[in-house]
Structures are given as structure tokens and as C-alpha cells.
Structure 1
Amino acid sequence: MTACPAKGARKPRADAVRNRERVLAAAKLVFGQGGEAASLEAVARQAGVGIGTLYRHFPTREALFEAVYRREVEQLVDLAEALRTEASPAEALRRWMRAIVEFVATKKGMVAALAIVVKGSSDLMAYSQDRLTRAVEALLRRAAEAGEIRRDIGPEDLLRTVIGLCYAQDRPDWQETVLRLLDVFMDGLRRRPDADQREAQGGLFAPAAGPRR
């Protein structure tokens, strides 16, 4: 039997849902650009809504920052799942790492505000770390088992490397620099004939040893 909706409960109006999504998409773009333009008024203008509409959905700046952050994390998780059907597991991993750069660009634009959010919501960083680690672990395992990348790197190491590259750059064109460095990093992850013997001795995704006889 299908459960009846709670008495008095109403689904959000379609236009309200669309406005919320437009605000979140606009906030990602505005915060990603950073600087003085990263204001709520700029977000409202980019979304094509009034500032009052923005505040109805997100009554505080912190609420908007947290919503954008959580939306970005969930989109990265969804992307990782979609990329698991890519013909080349290594290419799927490379595309996901490039998406992380875009995620960090948005995060950089609201780093000060996120610090306030995290202080009041200590589980936010733990939530994102867990979700992203599990997402990239599946991509790494698939690429390693396909023999396309080396087996001695784990998801935490990969995330630290990619995010570290992003925060080590502070020039206006930092994203272009990081994307180029990611290609170099990806070349280093790929299997090399001279590394096969070393990897055969074990790795994070090496097959479990059979029982001793």
C-alpha cells in the first residue's frame, strides 16, 4: 500500500525548485571566480532572480555556502558512478580528477565562509571526505584491476595530491596550470614495464594471497 502524504505537507512548487537550482548553479560560478564579485547580490543577478528570492531559499550566507558545497560533493560522487562505465578506466579517473579542480575552484571562492560553516557544522568536512574517498576508491580499483595504472596509490593519497596541487597555485590562471600538471601526474600513475616487478610484490589493490599449503 502506498503511503499517503502527511496532512498539510506540500511538495515544493516547480518554479521554486527551478529557482533554487538556478541559484546554486549561479553561486558555483560566482564563487568560483572569487574576489569582490563573490557576493550574494552577484549570485542573484547571475541566477536571474531577486535578492528576496535568494534569501527565501537560503536565509543566511552560510546556508548558501553549505548548500553549494554539498551539491558539489554529490555531483562528484554521481560523476564517479557514471564514469565507471567508461571504456578506459584510466581515462575515467583522469576526467574525475579534472572535475575535482573545478570543485576546488568553487571552494577557494568561499574558503573564509566555509570555515565559519565548518565551525558550526563539524561533520561537513568528514561527510565530504568520506563521500569523495569512497568515490575515487572505486575508480582507482577499477583502473588498477584493468592493469592501466599502478597499484601502489590509495584514494587518500590521490585526493591529497590533486587538492594540494590546486592550493599550491595562486595565479589567476592556476586552473590551467593544475590541469597540465594533472596530465603529468596521470602519466606517472600509468603502468610501466620496468615497474611490473616492483608492483608484483604488492600494492594497495593487489589480489589477496592464497592460503599457505
Structure 2
Amino acid sequence: MARPQTITNEQILAAAREVFAENGFSATTAEIARRAGISEGTLFKRFATKEALFEEAIGLHEAREWFDHLRRLDGHCDVRDTLRAIGHTFVDRGRELMPRMLMLWSRGHAPPLPHPPDHPDPMGDVSREIAAYLRRARGHGALREDTDPDALAVAFLGALMQFVMLEIVRPDSLGGLEARGYVDTVVTALCDGAATSS
């Protein structure tokens, strides 16, 4: 009869976050296992590779299902509603992911690059998928023909990133601005410039 698990995956991930924050991706799985109070063999039974452990500890694993969602967006969807939903999700996830990434970068560490095909690049992939959605929407007549989907996607994500960064490092500079109202204002401004007159 198998012994019941005495440590949860979340406890292992908490230990991994600490070790990755201290040492970046060069952290050893032996140190993570030691910090979690398990053997390295047990660690690899739960997480197949160090890369998989890193992505889950930092929160990048959640990006995959979101990218899949973005890829499935139909060009017939209402552009404003779709961008609002994307914006709110991006801000919510960014609030969790960005502090972890800033901690790594502040200690001179960064995630391994380039990203393999099956490992998401958080910003690049989101920008490409939003641009692809906007291209589909333009093809269905929801955006003007002269709209540049790539530029619109980068401008949109840049505005969202700025808000998340300011919330973390200079919340006083937002003057009480709420995320929901901010996202809605950004979407309105971008869509008013790109929407067809219909």
C-alpha cells in the first residue's frame, strides 16, 4: 500500500520559489528538494524537469491555457468586449507574476531564453496571439483595413504592463485609479481609433 503524500505540490512550489528567487534558474533541484524536505527523486516524480518546476513555481504554466484561449478567439467576437476581458485577465495575472519576475531580475537572474516551442514566452506570445485575433477581427470588418494589428497589440499590452508596474512600484502615482476603469478606458481609446464606423 502506497504511503500517503506528506508534502503537497504547493509546499514544494513555495520552496522552489524561494530558491529560484535567491539563485535564479541556476538553482539546483537538490537545494529545492532539501528546502522542501523531500528527496530529489520525489521532486522529479512530481515535476518531470527543472524547467517544468520553474515555470510552475513562477506561474508561467498558467499562460499555456490562456494562450490556447486567445488562439481560439473568433474574429466575429465583439472587439471591445474581447479586449476588455483580455485586459482584465492580463492585469490580474500580471499582479501575481510580475513581482516574482522583478525579484528574479533584481538579483541578476532571468528565465532561460530563448523559450522552447512548447514553453510560453509571456509577453511575446500574448502580443502575437492578440495581434492574430485583431487580424481576424479586421478580416471580418470589425476594424478598419488600415489598422496595424501588431502595433495595436503592442500598444495595448504596453499600457497594461505600465499599470501593473506602477501598482507594484509606485501605487501612489496612480491617484486611486482602479484597474477595471483603466482597462476600459484604454480599450475605448484604442478601439475608437481603429473601429469601423458601423
8 Å contact from structure 1 (residues 94, 186) kept in 2: yes
1:126–1:85 Cα change, 3 Å: closer
Give the structure, 1 or 2, with the largest relative contact order (CA under 8 Å, sep 6 or more).
2
Segments of 5+ residues of structure 2 without an aligned counterpart are 18-35
**Residue in structure 1 matched with residue 81 of structure 2 by the alignment:** 91
Instruction: Note if 1:77 corresponds to 2:67.
Output: yes
2:117 equivalent to 1:127:
no
Q: TM-score normalised to the size of structure 1?
A: 0.52
The question of whether the paired residues in 2 share the 8 Å contact of 1:93 and 1:139 is answered with no
Match in the other structure for 1:159: 157
**1:104 to partner: Cα distance:** 0.6
**In structure 2, C-alpha distance between the alignment counterparts of 1:55 and 1:188, rounded to whole Å:** 48
Alignment equivalent of 2:101, drawn from 78, 97, 111? 111
Aligned mates of 2:108, 2:93 — CA distance in 1: 17
2:142 pairs with 1:141:
no
In structure 1, what is the Cα distance between the partners aligned to 2:131 and 2:163? 19
If the length of structure 2 is used for normalisation, what is the TM-score?
Answer: 0.55
Q: Cα distance 1:118–1:137, how it changes in 2: closer, same or farther (>3 A)?
A: farther
Structure 1 stretches of 5 or more lacking a match? 1-14, 32-49, 198-213
- The structure-2 alpha-carbon separation of the partners of 1:74 and 1:86, relative to structure 1 and needing over 3 Å to count, comes to farther
Structure possessing the higher radius of gyration over alpha carbons: 1
**Cα gap change, 1:66 to 1:120, in 2 (>3 Å):** same
Cα 1:156–1:51 change in 2 (3 A) is: farther
Identical amino acids, percent of aligned pairs: 17
| Contact residue 60 and residue 120 of structure 2 kept, 8 A | no
**Root-mean-square deviation (Å):** 4.5
Give the aligned length.
155
Instruction: Please give the per-residue CA displacement for 1:118-169, whole angstroms capped at 9, x wherever unaligned.
Output: 5362325983333222211122223334444562543222221211121122
User: Which range moved further: 135-144 or 150-159?
Assistant: 150-159
SS of match in other structure, 1:123: coil
Moved over 6 A (4+): none
